[in-house]
Structure 1
Amino acid sequence: MKIPLPEHKKLVHQMSLDVRWGDMDAMGHVNNAVYFRYMESVRIAWMTAVGADPQPRGEGPVIVNAFCSFLRQIEYPARLLLKLYVSDPARTTFETWTTIEREDQPGVLYAEGGATTIWVDFPKQKAMPLPDWMREAVS
């Protein structure tokens, strides 16, 4: 089932990466769990670019929910294009959405997924309001 991305999403980052031989499973295609690593890679690259690195003694982002729709099998070798979108900033959370394509087949989705991110005060182990600069990045 294809999950529709919200109309009001904002493209914030994209990156390419190569499928590694070890990403495949016994069936000869990329293992389902690896798709979550791909989505994590583009999400972390963007968060680092905007200065949202988690500070263990401070605050930062935590994923509280993640999902993926597997639309087509990906096999080695392949170079992937991952696009990261953001949407729906709330008091303490925002949504991220990722699409995965093969670079040699632009516009053909192989997977799409997302994650709900919550902003956390790590020492207190409590949600806290999104900082203004982060709210601006996801609005």
Structure 2
Amino acid sequence: MNAPIRAEAEPRLQDFPYRLSDNVRFADLDINQHVNNASYASYFETSRVTLMKDSANGLQPDGVGWVMVRLDINFRAELHWPGTIELGLGVAKIGRTSVSFDQVVFSQGKCVASARAVNVLVDQATRKPVPLTDEIKANFKRWLTRGYDGQ
């Protein structure tokens, strides 16, 4: 007999220190008139890229870039147009060459999707992974998801 599946705890937006607002676009809909699953990857990308490309955050020194190597999405509820969404992001783990993010999409106070994304720092010339500097690690720590220590 299979063990019952435990329900994952409902994410809370306040646990994600980096937040953005965005709009649901009509083009995000599928034939069922709800947001298509592929659109969520774009929502998650928006918050990650906005955080990492902002030079004030010190997360992308010259000569290196970030490559996403994994994205796991949990679809929790339907999302419809029109509407606004709140995007939340927090650092879940800081590795040797990578960082893992926990991300959420909220609509009307309810989490409609959550994800774990893993990005690897690469040398732009060789396209090979490079270790995170102490400065990058320190800069990521201010974005830790509430309850995580970054390890």
Range of TM-score over shorter length: 0.7 to 0.9
User: What is the aligned counterpart of 1:112 among 114, 130, 141?
Assistant: 114
Q: Distance in 2 between matches of 1:99 and 1:137?
A: 21
Match of 2:137 in 1: 135
In structure 2, list runs of 5 or more residues that go unmatched.
142-151
**Aligned AA for 1:119?**
L
Following the alignment from structure 1 to structure 2, what is the Cα–Cα distance between the partners of residues 40 and 92?
19
Which residue of structure 1 aligns with residue 127 of structure 2? 125
Match 2:91 to one of 86, 106, 127? 86
The reply to whether residue 28 of structure 1 matches residue 33 of structure 2 is: yes
Contact map agreement 2:70 2:117 (CA 8 A) in 1: yes
Q: After the TM superposition, which parts of structure 1 deviate over 3 Å for at least 4 consecutive aligned residues?
A: 1-5, 51-55
Q: What's the TM-score, normalizing by structure 1?
A: 0.84
Q: SS state of the match for residue 66, structure 1?
A: strand
**Cα RMSD over matched residues?**
2.1
Amino acid at match of 2:89: L
Question: Which runs of 5 or more residues in structure 1 are unaligned?
Answer: none
Contact 1:69 1:113 (C-alpha < 8 Å) held by counterparts: yes
Q: Give the C-alpha shift of residue 35 in structure 1.
A: 0.1
Q: Percent identity?
A: 28
Q: Distance in 2 between matches of 1:53 and 1:135?
A: 11
**Post-superposition offset of 1:4:** 5.9
Is the Cα–Cα contact under 8 Å of residues 87 and 138 in structure 1 kept in the other structure? no
Task: Indicate conservation of the 8 Å contact 1:72/1:110, yes or no.
Answer: yes
How many residue pairs get aligned? The number is 130
| Structure 2 contact 59–139 (Cα < 8 Å) conserved | no
TM-score (norm 2): 0.78
Give the conservation status (yes or no) of the 8 Å contact 2:22–2:84. Answer: yes
Query: How far 1:61 sits from its partner (Å)?
Result: 1.2
